[in-house]
C-alpha cells in the first residue's frame, strides 16, 4: 500500500515557530507572518 509523503514541519523565518497550514496557506500563530509566495 502506498503511503502519503511525509514532509518536515516548516518554520517561521521571523520567530522560528512551527507554521500552521490554513486552507493551503502557511501562517505563523505567534507573529502573524503569512507565506505570500505560497502556490495557490
Give dist(CA 16, CA 3) in Å, integer: 29
4-36 pLDDT, tens digit each: 767 778 999 999 999 998 888 999 999 999 998
pLDDT number for residue 1? 72
Domain borders along the chain are 8-40
pLDDT number for residue 36? 82
pLDDT number for residue 3? 81
Amino acid at each position: 500500500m502506498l503511503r502519503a509523503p511525509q514532509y518536515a514541519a516548516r518554520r517561521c523565518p521571523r520567530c522560528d515557530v512551527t507554521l500552521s497550514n490554513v486552507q493551503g496557506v502557511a501562517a505563523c500563530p505567534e507573529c502573524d507572518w503569512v507565506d505570500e509566495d505560497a502556490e495557490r
